Structure 1
Amino acid sequence: MPIGHCVAPLPQPRRRMMSAPDRKLVLIVDDTPTNVAVVSGVLKDLFKTKVATNGEKALAIATAAEKPDLILLDVMMPGMDGYEVCRRLKANPYTAEIPVIFLTAKTDSLDEEKGFEVGAVDYIHKPFSSPIVLARVKTQLALQAALSEAQDARNQADTLLHALLPKKAADEIRAIGTVIPRRYENVAVLFCDVTNFTAYCDKHEPEDVVSRLDALFVIFERIVTKHGLEKIKTIGDGFMAVAGLLHKINDPVGAAVRCGLEMASTTIDARLDWEVRVGVHAGPVVAGVVGQERYQFDIWGDTVNVAARMVGMSGPGSVAATQEIWETISSAFDGESLGELDIKGKGTISVFGLRPRASP
């Protein structure tokens, strides 16, 4: 642009020098050396600056490893004009979020509208003054920092949400703000707990108790995922998972039994000096989220209660289930009667211990 479009900078107040690592990088794009000198002089005490004298150089600098935090872009340049440079910046995911402020001698509102359409966040009109340049740059960088912090907060919230809830439930909360309570049919529920865990707690240091239980539950989480189940929650030394709830799978009962058998055998093979008991039952459940300050996804119903009661009948290396469950999968597993169990509201039921099918 002609030199006449630029004026000398106004006297600047004394500014605190920032250390280089703290400084934001501003890319100044202008084909007129005097304009570049003026803007660089305004920014040099507070920001790092780089200069490009045409659109091609601007794009090269913007896509380098150290990309600018903000770009001051002249509209009228030979070759590629500022509008086209801005379009290309916004089309590239690597540079799309860099705020662009146009420097222009044009005052027509249509020109400004065009600039905003291609992605600019602000305009500085020539002849410009130093305080305006500095204020506009500071404002946009502050806005960018606030947006970045807000996005980081959202990402942290999403991470926490997915840690607390199954993915499908977390996605539903993000989409509509809640998880709609639903009834699900033919869901296999697995309960597992550690035998004599309370006595172990009383005899060992807290660090040992928590670290060993954490190691065990990490193993269980991998096994659950391997068999297509979903972890619902842990309750003390208890671990609860389901098959066929939020994600449909073939043979949820078989998957839950195989999962439970691997959990039991892995505990023995790992020589953790612990035994686990596993119970499985299947049927309808109600699922939803309770709590406001701390979400808890949970399931309820007779199926859940029966599965929990099965745990007490289980033996080492086996999975306890009702006779009803045993009869549906007897072709795939070996089973033996463990006796009868009285369950409130259901009466006396027969319980079987399920094991992997022995080789012929």
Structure 2
Amino acid sequence: MTDTDAKPAPRARVEIGGARPERPREDAANILIVDDMPANLSLLTSMLTAQGYEVRAAISGAMALMSAAAVAPDLILLDVNMPHMDGYEVCRRLKADPRTADIPVIFLSAMTGIGDKVMAFEAGGVDYVTKPFELREVLARVGTQLLLHRQRRELERQRKELEERYAQVRQMQAALRGYLSDRAWESIEESVSSNRPSPPAREVLTVLVSDIEDFVRLSEHEDPGPLLADLSLYMATVAQVVYDHQGEVDKYVGDGMLAFFRSAPDALAAAQRIQRAIADFNEQQRSHGRPAFPTRLGLSTGPVLLASIGSSGRREFTIIGDRVNTAFRIQAQARAGGLLMDEATFAAAGSPAGAVPAMVRIRGKQGEERLYAISPDTALDGADPGEV
């Protein structure tokens, strides 16, 4: 570096070449100056300190690397022509170190050739100032690069914050999915995209209702804590069968469950599998000295509405219609461990063998309806119905 690298300028907090000094920053930027000429270090240090920056100096490339790695500066002013290690190599090493890779580097050099500038940018520099330089130009370039650096850091901070929030949203979404059926979730997504509740959908479905016989009486004599644990395991067992047969759990109603299927054969297969699964569950309960949960099942097939109902503060997506009410009333008339289905389900399921017809008066209905019963012993291949 020559001794005429910079044009003289005042060193105090006064106008420099006609430019008014900036006010000291609240969080003063830290600048590392790297130059093997003490006179140039002194000049640049005086100029930048007068502008409110925190300045430190290094007289060699090796010293600059150690200083930057110890405490990363906000910006580096780097001379090119230095003994032992030139500025290009210093910059390359800075960019290779994750601790210093993001620090902007402005080269200062008396070399004005295009090739020299290209080498500087290829090494990782963000700017190139030729000597002799105007101090106003250096201040302007330093200010610009510090602003860009702060903006990049802020964008990176915001990006990380958004990633964290997105991960939290995904976790919340996954948790919420456990409380909603797939159709309910689709309804929510549709209402959010259209900014209004999704319209009711009319479909022909097979509705399945399960209920534990005399659960209220049972709960009067059992400790609530262990009983809740038993009930949770029971519900998980029943719901898994529903999902395994392409059904959806609409809701849990006390100790009962409301589910629906688009296929009557799937619904019947699920109901019979539930009978077997609950028989196994009850056997395990008894073996551990816990109460059994004798379960009644009802199936009804027909048109229902899938709709979002409720107020602006609390809404629920559910199925409503006569067949839903009928399924609840049918299961109430089934025997413990048994399954009752209406005639529409029996026909849609292919008239399953072993189903016993009976004319039954359903509460709230006029006249009698033909229902079909599948007893526990049929579903359980000879098991004693009284033990279900």
TM-score normalised per structure 1:
0.64
Alignment CA distance shift 1:188-1:74 (3 Å): farther
CA contact (8 A) 1:337 1:353 kept: yes
Question: Paired residue for 2:353?
Answer: 333
Out of 273, 279, 303, the residue aligned to residue 262 of structure 1 is: 273
Q: Deviation per CA, 1:53-94, whole angstroms, max 9, x where unpaired?
A: 369947xx6xxxxxx899446698859948xxxxxxxxxxxx
Pick closer, same or farther for the CA change 1:35–1:282 going to 2, 3 Å.
Answer: farther
Corresponding position: 1:186 with 2:186: no
- The answer as to 2:299 corresponding to 1:280 is yes
Return the alpha-carbon distance in structure 1 between the equivalents of residues 362 and 183 of structure 2: 36
Q: 1:138 to 1:11 in 2, by over 3 A?
A: same
Q: Where does residue 352 of structure 1 map in the other structure? A: 372
User: Which residue number in structure 1 is paired with residue 334 of structure 2?
Assistant: 314
Q: Is the aligned partner of 1:148 residue 2:178?
A: no
Shift of the 72–282 alpha-carbon distance from structure 1 to 2, 3 Å rule, reads: farther
- What is the CA-CA distance between 1:317 and the residue it aligns to? 3.7
Q: Is the 8 A contact 2:276 2:379 kept in 1?
A: no
5+ unaligned residues in a row in structure 1: which ranges? 13-31, 46-50, 62-67, 83-101, 108-123, 245-251
Aligned mates of 1:70, 1:57 — CA distance in 2: 6
Return the offset for 1:253: 1.1
Q: What is the RMSD computed on CA atoms of the aligned residues?
A: 4.3
- Whether 1:212 and 2:230 are equivalent positions in the alignment is yes
Q: Larger radius of gyration, structure 1 or 2?
A: 2
Q: 1:299 to 1:40 in 2, by over 3 A?
A: same
Counterpart position of 1:290: 309
The answer as to whether partners of 1:264 and 1:316 remain within 8 angstroms in 2 is no
For residue 162 of structure 1, the aligned residue among 177, 192, 195 is: 177
What amino acid sits opposite 1:237 in the alignment?
A: D
With normalisation by structure 2, the TM-score equals 0.60
* Cα distance change on mapping 1:301 and 1:191 into 2, 3 Å: same
Residue identity (%)? 16
Aligned-partner SS, 1:299: strand
Match of 1:323 among 334, 343, 353: 343
> Aligned pair count?
284
Moved more, 214-223 or 179-188: 179-188
Deviates more, 1:326-335 or 1:309-318: 326-335
Q: Does the residue aligned with 2:323 lie in a helix, a strand or coil?
A: helix
- Change in 2 beyond 3 A, CA 1:235/1:168: closer
Mapped pair 1:196 → 2:214:
yes
Give the SS at the match of 1:165: coil
CA distance in structure 2 between the partners assigned to 1:257 and 1:70 by the alignment: 65
**Structure 2: 5+ residue stretches without partners:** 1-32, 56-60, 75-89, 107-116, 130-138, 286-291, 382-388
Q: Which AA in structure 1 matches 2:92?
A: T
